[in-house]
Amino acid sequence: MAQDRGQFSSKLGFILAAAGSAVGLGNLVAFPVMASKNGGAAFLIIYLFFVAFICYPVMMAEIAMGRSTNRNPVGAFSTLSGGKLVWRLAGMLAILTPFMIAVFYTVITVWLVVYIKEIFSGNLDLLSRPGNFGEVVARPSLFAYLVSLLFLIFFILLGGVKGGIERLARVLMPTLAIMLVLLVAFVLTLDNASIGVSYYLVPDFGRVDLAVINGALSQAFFSLSLGMGILITYGSYFNRKDNIAQSARMVAIADTSIAFFAGMLILPAIFAFDPNTNTDDLSTSSVGLIFDFLPQIFLSMQETVGFGGASVAAGVFFTLVFFAALTSLVSIIEIPIACWIDELGFSRKKAVLFQAVLLTAFAIPATMSLGISDFFTNFTSYGGVSKSFFDLVSDVFYETILPFVGFTVCIFCAYNWRVSGLKEELVIGDDSYSGSLVEKYINFSLGTVIPAVLLIVFISTVNQIYL
């Protein structure tokens, strides 16, 4: 029997919590560089198109599934399908995926904590040295930071939906937005920053090809936390009187705005460091950019603001990224916790402690995967490349499974739950939905265009990574 589920206190609480889950490393680092490499504003236009016409309907469907059943992904798929095994398995995949994503996200967040500590200890110059990142991730001292981070995360989750997740989002999301705007204002005052602004905002449609289009869709889909069961679970905490379509729209706007302003920070900072930067040489890897390249960017600012000023700017940026990672991590880990409460009848305290043990068991080998242990560093190989345990988790669950879970949501809502059931849920709190253009588009797209596109992305990813 479900218990201790909780509920968001307001629509604003839901929007901030959902936006917190969506805003992460991809928004703050990967998105700006992908835009600069792939046509600037042309990429942004394509990205916005996919957010509006592909992601938005999937967001609404996931939230509606959760609110209609008041259950986690396993319970939602099972209840709405009448207990059919195939759909219950789809729900289980939507639990396994965020659990494993939390594993590698936890490790990255530990690295962020280490970098913040080093920066505020006056060691920005050391972090900027080539090869330093490899030394940091191979430190046995990482385990002390891992334990501290896990304690913080599960302490927040013990507070429940309103007292933990929502309270965190209400504090960190506005703080993150303010810090980002202040950093943008600072960076735009630097010499040559305008070159980065031009690279970012001047469209170059000549650089747009099928790979760019695929990248824009993947970035939009992943950025909005789709396919991870987060919005299904958060939908189960959503008030039945509130408007799903409007709330989903606000989450999408908040997430996209953060990504846009991140571009106004990262690209001008890069060109302030080196006006002759070739953006084609920049990696779209969030990890590579954050830990290898950006410390050099901030250190270069010492010529303008001194070493202390450069360290403060770097410290603020890494703290901002840490806030984004923390809100995402708390949201991701909540998904299996909700499953243990709903499906196993655990109390929240027992579910949180159970999840803490499971996550720790997987996070330890992932932490050891970049030099601490040769076994986990060279764990397997595929696609002709040696892969660590960390790489395996990232490739399989973050890169590959997410679009497939989104595909199952679309097919389920269009052909199993039926559009009429989805419509009945979306009308609640929004009388204008019935007969609207949005309804007509969702009725058409969820069973045709959107799943076809997501299936193509899934197949393309498998081909790229594993074959």
Distance of CA 68 to the CA centre of its chain: 25
Q: What is the pLDDT tens value at each position of the chain, 467 positions in all? A: 445 567 888 888 888 888 888 887 778 877 887 887 787 888 889 999 989 888 899 899 999 999 999 999 999 999 999 889 999 999 999 999 889 989 988 999 999 999 999 999 999 999 988 888 888 888 899 999 999 999 999 999 999 888 888 888 888 889 988 988 988 998 898 888 888 888 888 888 888 887 788 778 878 877 787 877 889 999 999 888 889 999 999 999 998 999 899 888 888 888 877 777 766 666 555 566 778 778 888 888 888 788 998 899 889 889 988 998 898 899 889 999 999 999 999 999 999 999 999 999 999 999 999 889 999 999 999 888 899 999 899 888 877 887 888 888 888 888 888 767 888 899 998 888 888 998 888 888 888 888 888 888 888 888 888 87
Q: Identify the pLDDT of residue 419.
A: 67
| Rounded Cα distance, 276 and 89, in Å | 52
Domain 11-466 has CATH 1.10.3470: no
Give the whole-angstrom CA distance, residue 173 versus residue 85: 39
Torsions phi, psi of 229, nearest 5?
Answer: 80, 0
CB 310 within 8 A of CB 299: yes
Task: Give the chain's end-to-end CA distance (angstroms, integer).
Answer: 45
Contact 437, 397 (CB under 8 A): no
Alpha carbon distance 341, 72 (integer Å): 9
Rounded Cα gap, residues 62 and 430, in angstroms: 17
Cα separation, 63 vs 210, whole angstroms: 30
Neighbours of 144 (CB within 10 A): 11
Q: What is the pLDDT of residue 155?
A: 93
Average pLDDT, the chain: 86
What span, in angstroms and rounded, lies between the C-alpha atoms of 203 and 380?
41
The tokens of 193 are what? 């920053």
The torsion angles phi and psi of 84, rounded to 5 degrees, stand at -65, 135
Q: What is the pLDDT of residue 1?
A: 43
pTM metric for this prediction: 0.88
Task: Give the C-alpha separation, 451 to 445, whole Å.
Answer: 8
Distance CA 280, CA 429 (A): 47
Place of tokens 């303008």: 304
Residue boundaries of the structural domains of the chain: 11-466
The answer to whether 322 and 175 are in contact (CB under 8 A) is no
Q: What count of other Cβ atoms lies within 10 Å of the Cβ of residue 466?
A: 12
Closest to 62 in 3D by CA, of 444, 405, 456: 405
CB 99 within 8 A of CB 335: yes
